[in-house]
Structure 1
Amino acid sequence: MTRPRILVVGAGFAGVACVRRLERRLAPEEADLTLVTPFSYQLYLPLLPQVASGVLTPQSIALSLRRSEKYRTRIIPGGAIGVDLRSKVCVVRTITDEIVNQPYDYIVLAPGSITRTFDIPGLTDHAFGMKTLAEAAYLRDHVISQLDLADASHDPAERASRLQFVVVGGGYAGTETAACLQRLTHAAVRRYPRLDPGLIKWHLIDIAPKLMPELGEKLGRSAQEVLTRRGIEISLGVSIAKAGPEEVTFTNGRVVPTRTLIWTAGVVASPLIATLGAETVRGRLAVNADMCLPGHDGVFALGDAAAVPDEAKGDGAVCPPTAQHALRQGRQVADNVIATLRGQPMRPYHHKDLGLVVDLGGTDAVSKPLGLELRGLPAQAVARGYHFAALRTNVAKVRVATNWLLNAVAGDDFVRTGFQARKPAKLHDFEYTDAYLTPEQVRAHVEEAGRAVR
């Protein structure tokens, strides 16, 4: 008899947690494991702003999936672009641009999310994102290059526009990005004696009335005070009306000359979910509390791409797209897949939120572990302690801790690597949202492949 084929799509927190648990708890003869991912590493996304600011190196938060020889999962380097639930086939575009059909008996959908954008003129052509490792490394190069170009410019207007930076999104990603990059420019400008530090201006804007409302009134206000004290101008109830190569227009009519627009205004589920033709909740796949897709045996979904009921909150709430939930959902899905294989009952996902941490750089942070509100150095200790513990491998922990220590003692060298020396790259260049098939195209492709085999 052939072994059951378990296919996991996505190597984020949810996908990797699922695969590792399956490897530990399933005997080799019980199932064949396959993982589809464009990159053979798990990205520790919460520390991405620290890569952009140079506190951490990119390799520090890219946790290799091939480092240990004990793992037996087959990794397919590529992206899933469609799923045919009837035929139990996942359509994959490999890194060689070949489109292949990957059959499965059980599929775990954890493709994650992409940056949420709106129909704003010029946004995708002129904004930078903060969702991938490449974007973070590219953005660091870009910010430092703006200082170099401003220093070399003889035009006061050009110099002023290059030294203004706009971040859209007052959530964790946007707030930490603005905080970390402001520290980078504040430290770097000391090495540019011809530049007036007063010309460097950071703007953080969000359409919401409060900064990081999940933190609560007091901590949110504390974070805002820290950023304001550093000189970051915060505008709430405001978004972007249009974006150009040299200026950004806010919805309140204000025009800010800038060459740097960073867009972090939320995420949406991966376009892969739309290829299934199944029911969704605000773009996320509607699943049961055990993370099974209703009406389809052997199909599980979790993480940012699934609307998993939040049993701890009740009242129809769904789990927020956070790493904390994704990790635990991955382990629970693995247990449910194993239970299905062995004819045992599945368990619903239940997890009470442990709290939040926001690292604002240096000794500044706000944290809310288990409901306890912390600020300053104690909050920073909790934030970094949480990230250190959450890193999956000891190698990653050593790299991150060493980077933190080195940056605290020696500072930054403000070196540009030259990633963006040739061709500018913006938001639409990093997320391949046009690569996915429609449900009809998926079905047609699978049927055509079936006829070719016959």
Structure 2
Amino acid sequence: MNTVTRPRILVVGAGFAGVDCVRRLERKLAPDEADVTLVTPFAYQLYLPLLPQVASGVLTPQSIALSLRRSRKYRTRIIPGGAIGVDLKAKVCVIRTITDKIVNERYDYIVLAPGSVTRTFDIPGLTEHAFGMKTLAEAAYIRDHVISQLDLADASDNPAERAARLQFVVVGGGYAGTETAACLQRLTHAAVQRYPRLDPGLIKWHLIDIAPKLMPELGDKLGRSAQEILRRRGIEVSLGVSIAKAGPEEVTFTDGRVVPTHTLIWTAGVVASPLIATLGAETVKGRLAVTAEMCLPGHDGVFALGDSAAVPDLAKGQEGAVCPPTAQHAMRQGRKVADNVIATLRGEQMQPYVHKDLGLVVDLGGKDAVSKPLGIELRGLPAQAVARGYHWSALRTNVAKTRVMTNWLLNAVAGDDFVRTGFQARKPARLKDFEFTDSYLTPDEVRARVEGAGIDHP
């Protein structure tokens, strides 16, 4: 079989789902059985659950960025860029490379795992003035920004400015928001001890969420435990509240309160990648509607999984239930999709995805955590051991495991450091500057581009 006739498998996205799919394909496919290509803006897999610990400086950025080029044995071709459109009929993926060149990549089989982007709403000033917590750059940038607020407050002789710079608002009472508020509060609490001119009592953290409960997936008892831990640390938790508008120096809550602040961190959920909207296919709450085998109905050779696909959750036994957008599902879906792609190639029977949720872990920093592994409720050090043990074991490479464990040990022994790395330039960067959600094409633009390139629809 030569390279001309060899089937082309294109995987979009290097998150948990995409990388596990690629690695499985590499292990199980013969070298001459198919060509595998991966489209990703960055040649690393980001371990998202540990981003709050990067923002707080407990972990270094490179410790959770797992290189895809480290091993020489992998044979997948990597295209450095992002998929901005897919023509399912012509079997063409439109890619914007990191040099802004737009190319058409043909495929025989495509695995769509583009992940998700931060969910925003039509709130005045939100995208212009809020920070996100979805990328490695955002986590590093937020750390610089938070430390700079202490520097600027210390340098200011204006009491109002000083108070505003020492107030921080986090929106989103899910895992990302709760862990972000908890980890960064620990950072500022430790750092302010090095600023003798600053009153530690001026530092105020606000965690708000429109939902009536904090992390409802944990259950009432653990949710209340987490809330009590945060309040004991001085974090003001407001539920049933969101943002009415955001400005450069203040945030207005929906209950009428106006909080003077220069730091608004938005972690109020995620939505499927805008790439899904370019397909013109059926969706379920924005996620691509797929079968239990993660196939797109009516389109041969198209698979979708992870945050961007509404994969039926057969383990729940409830009609209409779909898998939540979590890492444990994405990794297992990636492996199952790889098996189903190989089965399709070889004319074998595909298998449905079934996985029972193993539980949830929430690391609040220090000795504080709440966890619910296999339905068992844990708090404090046992919960912390489970949370960090789970994250450590889920890291894909031994290099990453060594780096993370070393960082944890060093932080436990030496404490936090408060060095700004220089990510914060004079020109501020906010939510709208990191995720490039305006780069995607419409379905009509995709078709026009493909037809303009002389690629016929079958």
TM-score by length of 1: 0.99
In structure 1, the residue matched to 2:321 is 317
In structure 2, the residue matched to 1:444 is 448
2:126 pairs with one of 96, 116, 123: 123
TM-align CA RMSD: 0.8
2:409 pairs with one of 388, 405, 408: 405
- Secondary structure in 1 aligned to 2:362? strand
In structure 2, the residue matched to 1:266 is 269
Report the alpha carbon displacement of residue 283 of structure 1 after superposing the two structures with TM. 0.5
Establish whether residue 344 from structure 1 lines up as the match of residue 348 from structure 2.
Answer: yes
| Structure 2 Cα separation of the partners of residues 171 and 401 of structure 1 | 25
AA partner of residue 381 (structure 2): L
| Structure 1 Cα separation of the partners of residues 356 and 455 of structure 2 | 49
Report the alpha carbon displacement of residue 422 of structure 1 after superposing the two structures with TM. 2.2
Report the alpha carbon displacement of residue 413 of structure 1 after superposing the two structures with TM. 2.2
| Structure 1 Cα separation of the partners of residues 455 and 40 of structure 2 | 28
In structure 1, the residue matched to 2:357 is 353
- Secondary structure in 1 aligned to 2:45? strand
| Structure 2 Cα separation of the partners of residues 426 and 193 of structure 1 | 30
Establish whether residue 253 from structure 1 lines up as the match of residue 259 from structure 2.
Answer: no
CA displacement, residues 286-312 of structure 1 (integer Å, 9 cap, x when unaligned): 000000000000000000000000001
| Structure 2 Cα separation of the partners of residues 51 and 218 of structure 1 | 28
Report the alpha carbon displacement of residue 139 of structure 1 after superposing the two structures with TM. 0.1
| Structure 2 Cα separation of the partners of residues 267 and 440 of structure 1 | 26
1:432 pairs with one of 436, 451, 457: 436
- Secondary structure in 1 aligned to 2:314? coil
In structure 1, the residue matched to 2:418 is 414
AA partner of residue 248 (structure 2): P
| Structure 2 Cα separation of the partners of residues 306 and 319 of structure 1 | 9
Report the alpha carbon displacement of residue 411 of structure 1 after superposing the two structures with TM. 1.1
Gaps of 5+ in 1: none
Establish whether residue 49 from structure 1 lines up as the match of residue 60 from structure 2.
Answer: no
| Structure 2 Cα separation of the partners of residues 384 and 234 of structure 1 | 25
Report the alpha carbon displacement of residue 421 of structure 1 after superposing the two structures with TM. 2.8
| Structure 1 Cα separation of the partners of residues 95 and 429 of structure 2 | 25
| Structure 2 Cα separation of the partners of residues 31 and 398 of structure 1 | 34
- Secondary structure in 2 aligned to 1:42? strand
8 Å contact kept, 2:90–2:455: no
In structure 2, the residue matched to 1:217 is 220
Gaps of 5+ in 2: none
Report the alpha carbon displacement of residue 451 of structure 1 after superposing the two structures with TM. 6.5
| Structure 2 Cα separation of the partners of residues 419 and 276 of structure 1 | 36
TM-score by length of 2: 0.98
| Structure 1 Cα separation of the partners of residues 455 and 271 of structure 2 | 36
Report the alpha carbon displacement of residue 94 of structure 1 after superposing the two structures with TM. 0.6
8 Å contact kept, 2:163–2:202: yes
In structure 2, the residue matched to 1:290 is 293
Moved more, 404-413 or 47-56: 404-413
- Secondary structure in 2 aligned to 1:442? helix
In structure 1, the residue matched to 2:284 is 281
2:142 pairs with one of 128, 131, 139: 139
AA partner of residue 417 (structure 2): D
| Structure 1 Cα separation of the partners of residues 129 and 415 of structure 2 | 31
